[in-house]
Amino acid sequence: MSRLVAPDDIETPIGYVDLARVRANARRVADYASKHGLTWRPHIKSHKSLAVARIQLAAGARGLTVATLREAEVMAGVTDDLLMAFPPVGTSKLDRLLALPERVDLKVALDSSRVLAPLADRAASSSRTVGVLVEVDMGLGRVGVQSPEELVALAREASDRRGVAFRGIMFYAGHIRMAQQEQGEHLAEVARRLATALDALERAGLRPEIVSGGSTPTLWQSHLVPGMTEIRSGSCIFFDREALAVGVAREEDLAYTVLATVVSTAVPGRAVVDAGTKALSRESRGGDVHSFLMLEGRGRTPWTG
């Protein structure tokens, strides 16, 4: 942003976090969740920072969501309530998972018996019980059981095995990234699939204590999916240009900026900065978000680069 100038003695590129905006974003999300009877268990992948996690917890977040063992080990330093939202596979990962402090109420999301069985055996051998959330595919097509029958079978196995306990279900509707006002039919489809899943569990006598969903593009419409008990919206802590494009954030909510320096203006009409895809990310955001740059005050007008 043009009003931010890196002091001469700071090497760029460097990330700049606006903590006042982080606090305001955390408060708004926590307030929204509590107004709708939801808890907020933010995914920490966007910040991986104890300082930011503390702000989320102080604002009212109920525990944290992580995707890697390293994230779990670090975040256990600030919370006793962790959801590992990625299937832990392999002896080394299971060993690290079971080495997390006993005080941590640990939950793991998974979608197959091949992940569940070794997890249960490893937990039982440590005399520990790990919570299981069965992941359900709601249309993203990445992970998740594909039918109510699979869901019930895996939930039942989690209830029956030593070392694990069935705690509920998890889904991530990461395919819903269109403008907020165009999300209605997609959210209705998620609501329909969730109702079918919950109905199947109820008929099988399996009670999900946790129904975990949510994302940042759908953040303020989470209440349109009945049955959820918690949202894991994560990148909303900083928001980003995709959030602007979707309409879930305003420019003044963006809390993370990369300070860069113009290093060449040799070619007329061009300014080259020291923050390209190697310093940032090659991840494309799709939609009308084509570059990393935004001219302050010019909203969505993209700069190529």
- Select 34 or 125, whichever has its Cβ closest to ligand PLP: 34
CB of 213 to ligand PLP, least distance (A): 9
SS3 content of the chain, % helix, strand, coil (to 5): 35, 15, 45
Q: 98: alpha, beta or left, given left = phi > 0 and alpha = psi -120 to 50?
A: alpha
Q: Which residues of the shown chain bind ligand PLP in the complex (CB under 6 A)? A: 43, 65, 85, 172, 215-216, 232-236
CB of 234 to ligand PLP, least distance (A): 4
| Of 257, 268, 255, the residue nearest 292 (C-alpha) | 257
Q: 144: alpha, beta or left, given left = phi > 0 and alpha = psi -120 to 50?
A: left
Contact partners, residue 232, CB within 8 Å, separation at least 6: 40, 41, 42, 43, 65, 83, 85, 172, 212, 213, 214, 215
CB of 212 to ligand PLP, least distance (A): 8
For residue 131, give the H/E element and its range. Answer: strand 130-135
- Select 125 or 146, whichever has its Cβ closest to ligand PLP: 146
- Select 40 or 166, whichever has its Cβ closest to ligand PLP: 40
For residue 272, give the H/E element and its range. Answer: strand 272-273
CA distance 259 to 12: 6
CB 164 within 8 A of CB 120: yes
- Select 154 or 260, whichever has its Cβ closest to ligand PLP: 154
Q: Alpha helices of the chain — where are they, by DSSP H?
A: 19-35, 50-59, 69-75, 91-98, 113-125, 148-160, 184-203, 241-246
- Select 155 or 243, whichever has its Cβ closest to ligand PLP: 243
CB of 171 to ligand PLP, least distance (A): 8
- Select 44 or 158, whichever has its Cβ closest to ligand PLP: 44
- Select 79 or 215, whichever has its Cβ closest to ligand PLP: 215
| Of 200, 198, 140, the residue nearest 174 (C-alpha) | 140
- Select 239 or 292, whichever has its Cβ closest to ligand PLP: 239
Contact partners, residue 28, CB within 8 Å, separation at least 6: none
DSSP string, 21-35: HHHHHHHHHHHHHHH
Core vs surface per residue 181-191: b (16+ CB within 10 A) or e: eebeebbeebb
CB of 83 to ligand PLP, least distance (A): 9
CB of 67 to ligand PLP, least distance (A): 7
